[in-house]
A and B are shown apart, each in its own frame.
Chain A
Amino acid sequence: MGEPCAVIGVGQTEYRTKRTDVSIAGLVREAALRALEDAGLTFKDIDAVVIGKAPDLFEGVMMPEAYLADALGARGKPMIRVHTAGSVGGSTALVAASLVQAGVHDRVLVVAWEKQSESNATWALSTHPPLSPTIVVGAGGYFAPHIRAYMRRTGAPDHIGTLVAVKDRQNALKNPYAHLRIPGISREMVESTPMLWEPIRYLETCPSSDGAAAMVLASESAARRAPNPPAWVHGTAMRSEPIFFAGRDTVSPQAGKDCAADVYRQAGITDPRRELDCAEVYVPFSWYEPMWLENLGFCGEGEGWKLTESGATGLDGDIPWNASGGVLSSNPIGASGLIRFAEAALQVRGLAGEHQVEGARRALGHAYGGGAQFYAMWVVGSDRP
């Protein structure tokens, strides 16, 4: 793991369908300035900038770090652009952490963003490259069959996805940055919405959001001087596997299991449900909560939906998942992973506001991408490891 690393600043924009009040540069700068304010720093104090987002085709700006260097105070500094599909927000945080853990820098600004209103993500995901198969269904069409396979494999009843959709939106009502804040959200409301990709209903899917999130990551000496409590990095891991091959388990991919095992080993965790206080997990479609509960080892195989049904993952349950409202409530795609990592940090810093999990001291941040084949995770804690 190298040198110690801590989160000393977190900044988020309001997540909305359209942020027409700001340019792309204005959007990322808003998040960056809030993270710097939290850390008691200015751009001058930052050694390097790491930026991440999902495919450039989403906004039509190619290699946008070139254009965003000025807005993020990167002139005269190193700047890196990360891209690992939907997991990119998580990977971006890990690359920034790696620079601190390698002893290269003391303070790294990490920013991830998406401005979905500038374009159409489903269109950008459905191109016809020559000589390659094309999916042409966007993300929902791709993941729905995997959810069906999960339901068939475990015998999960139909209403489990609905429960997650309601729970995460109830949490979102406590998060001022959340995009979907639906007063009176209920099972009846979710069940009355149209079926988009069987079994995923409209309110069981994530929104398309504009937004950015940022963090300041610091070395131990820099963290000791931060005005607010730090979140210490207890473990980091990335895993990837190929998208198509015979025998691949797309419901509970091996890369997710391996990534979790790696990050738990570093953090000294053997029973994640008991030893973690909360988790921010990438759940873009409601059913991915029970699926990831199993993949991440919070319960045995086939037990995920029972855990969800029992209320264990609610804000008042024994292992709250996505107290922030999660990806189901805010989805600026490239930033969604970083938001998970940042919300995990806010929880263990005790700065999560109304959606604070009482006494949270250790939390998991998780992101996945591509055909559920790219994973990025970290465990953060209140105590220095």
Chain B
Amino acid sequence: MSRDVAVVAFAQTKHTGEDAGLTEVELLAPVITEIKQATGLNRFGFTCSGSLDYLAGAPFSFVSALDTVGAWPPISESHVEMDGAWALYEAWARLRHGDVDTALVYGFGKSTQGSLRELMTLQLDPYYLAPLGPDQVSLAALQARAFLDAGHKEDDLRAVAARSRAAGRANPYALDLPDPADEGYEVAPLRPHDCAPITDGAAAVVLAAGDRARELSERPAWIRGIDHRIEAHSLGARDLSRSESAALAAERAGARDVEVAELHAQFSHEELMLREAIGLADGVRVNPSGGPLAANPVMATGLIRIGEAASWIHRGEARRTLGHAASGPCLQHNLVCVLEA
């Protein structure tokens, strides 16, 4: 089977850097309503979501999220405990079967509920690594150091942060963060502006196959290639200065000749590493939305990258774009999605 599948609609919250008093369900509900109105669809052939129980500290975040979808009569639905980008991947595969034409995909996260930085420690090897307590920023700093040692400068990181924050200020959905100031290190060599902000938010995408996509969108963003790869978990087993799994996923997805790339870089150096790994030419516009450094609603951030990349095609402003998502410590797992008009 090789049915063409396209992103036909994208919606996201106006992400916040502080607790706006909304539950995860309340964050998500308006986004689902918006995307249903935008597509005129109330029922979908398949529904898939991505979320993380640990953000709320309770099992089954996705159970109550189902209330936002209107799952009655019952719907064909699944969930990944991963970023919504992987829910999109599952839905993309499902649409290729040929029996259903539309899929609703969503991701949501409310990071302000806890301490994300320490929470991510629970993702590490529970026997040999997690008990040592390394937090997410410290691990990213190890990778940043390896990257700088391979011939890059701290100023390069600052330039990424400055460009991302400026772009974020121009994006009504991202946070308003000031230009990088002369702050101390968060964890050397990373400064506070090199780290993605704590963010609450949600996003949704509608996928459609073949002619259904052409009916639902004037300019569908066709998925020309999508692939994801995971690499070793142990940081000691990897060359931290490069992202092998991103390079492999990009190659398999056919990531060439794109005009715009939205990268799931939660730290400044990750953007530079991913540019190299994916093989983006100098002229490619990277993270024109501001990227995760301007808004990082965990579990939706990767899905938003694909949604943002698709929006360029929906608006008729680009012909070929790329969305990227990452998971695991220090870019352990990377997904690349190439979209085309």
Q: Which chain B residue shows the least CB distance to A92?
A: B78
B100 to chain A, nearest CB (A): 11
Decide: B82 and A81 in contact? CB cutoff 8 A: yes
Distance of A65 from chain B, by nearest CB (Å): 7
Q: Which residues of A contact B123 (CB under 8 A)?
A: 61-63, 66-67
B97: chain A residues within 8 A (beta carbon): 1-2, 98, 101-102
Within 8 A of B (CB), among A106-159: 124-125, 127-129, 131-132
Taking CB atoms, residues of chain B closer than 8 Å to A131 are 23
With beta carbons under 8 angstroms apart, the residue of A80, A94, A98, A239 that contacts B74 is A239
Asked whether B79 lies within 8 Å of A82 as measured between CB atoms, the reply is yes
A243 contacts which chain B residues (CB < 8 A)? 63-64, 66
Contact with A along B92-126 (1 / 0, CB 8 A): 01101111000000000000000000011011111
B76 touches A239 (CB 8 A): yes
Q: Are B96 and A104 in contact (CB under 8 A)?
A: yes
B229 touches A242 (CB 8 A): no
Segment touching B, from A38-46, A83-91, A167-175: A83-91
A370-B59 Cα distance, complex, nearest whole Å: 10
Query: Which of chain B's residues have a CB closer than 8 A to the CB of A240?
Result: 47, 66, 71, 74-77
Among B147-155, B187-195, B281-289, B327-335, the stretch that binds chain A is B327-335
> Quick one: which of A56, A82, A104, A132 contacts B80, CB cutoff 8 A?
A82
Cα of A312 to Cα of B229 in the assembled complex, Å: 48
B130: chain A residues at CB < 8 Å are 61
Cβ of B228: which chain A residues have Cβ within 8 Å of it?
78-79
Tell me which residues across on chain A come within 8 A of B230, comparing CB atoms. Answer: 65-66, 69, 74-79
- Give A240 to B46 CA distance when docked, in angstroms: 11
Chain B residues with CB under 8 Å of A198's CB are none
List the B side residues contacting A238 at CB < 8 Å. 76-78
In the bound complex, residues from chain B placing their C-beta under 8 Å from that of A127 are: 57-59
| A344 at interface, CB cutoff 8 A | no
Residue of A69, A95, A262, A373 near B232 (CB, 8 A) is: A69
Q: How far is the CA of A80 from the CA of B50 in the complex (A)?
A: 11
Q: Could you tell me the distance between the alpha carbons of A296 and B57 in the complex, rounded to whole angstroms? A: 35
Chain A residue contacts of B124, Cβ below 8 A: 66-67
- Bound-state Cα–Cα, A131 to B333, Å: 34
B74 in contact with A67 (CB, 8 Å): no
Query: Taking A1-B97, A82-B80, A129-B57 as contacts, is the C-beta distance between A66 and B232 under 8 angstroms?
Result: no
Given contacts A78-B228, A242-B72, 14 further A-B pairs with CB under 8 A are A57-B53, A63-B82, A65-B230, A66-B124, A79-B333, A98-B97, A124-B59, A129-B56, A129-B57, A129-B58, A131-B23, A132-B64, A242-B67, A243-B66
